[in-house]
Amino acid sequence: MGVGFVLVVLSLATFSNLSPVHPRFIVPNPDRNLVTSFSGQLLRAAQSSPRTKLRLRGGNADSQQSRSDTSNHTNDICIRKPDIDKRSYRFLKLDNELEAVIISDNETHSGAAALCVGVGQLDDPPEVQGLAHFCEHMVFLGTERFPEESNFDQFCASCAGYSNAWTSMDHTLFHFIVAHDKLFETLDRFSAFFSCPLFSESGTDREMHAVDSENNKNLQDDDRREHQLMRSMCSPGHAMSRFGAGSYKTLHDLPAAAGVDVRAALLAFHGRFYSARAMRLSVIGRA
Tally of domains within the chain: 1
Going by C-alpha positions, the residue among 212, 191, 208 that lies closest to residue 200 is: 208
Q: Calculate ∠ Cα 29-186-176, nearest 5°.
A: 90
Going by C-alpha positions, the residue among 91, 49, 57, 97 that lies closest to residue 74 is: 57
**DSSP state letter for 242:** S
**Could you tell me the CATH number of the domain that includes residue 117?**
3.30.830.10
- The boundaries of the domain holding residue 214 are 3-285
Tell me which residues are annotated as active site. 136
Pairing of strands 99-104, 279-285: parallel
> Strands, E, within the chain: which ranges?
59-60, 67-69, 74-76, 88-93, 99-104, 110-117, 162-167, 172-179, 279-285
Those residues with Cβ within 8 angstroms of residue 239's Cβ, 6 or more apart along the chain or in another chain: 121, 122, 123, 124
Query: Which amino acid is residue 67, in one-letter code?
Result: R
Beta bridge partners of 93: 99
Pairing of strands 279-285, 110-117: antiparallel
User: Per the confidence metrics, is the pTM higher than 0.85?
Assistant: no
Those residues with Cβ within 8 angstroms of residue 113's Cβ, 6 or more apart along the chain or in another chain: 175, 176, 183, 186, 187, 190, 281, 282, 283, 284
Per-residue tens of pLDDT for the chain, all 287 residues: 454 555 555 556 667 667 665 444 343 433 333 222 323 333 333 333 333 233 334 455 543 333 333 222 335 678 889 999 999 999 999 989 999 999 999 999 999 999 999 999 999 999 999 999 999 999 999 999 999 998 999 999 999 999 999 999 999 999 999 999 999 999 999 999 999 999 999 999 999 999 999 999 999 999 989 988 998 899 988 999 999 999 999 999 999 999 999 999 999 999 999 999 999 999 999 96
CB 163 within 8 A of CB 183: no
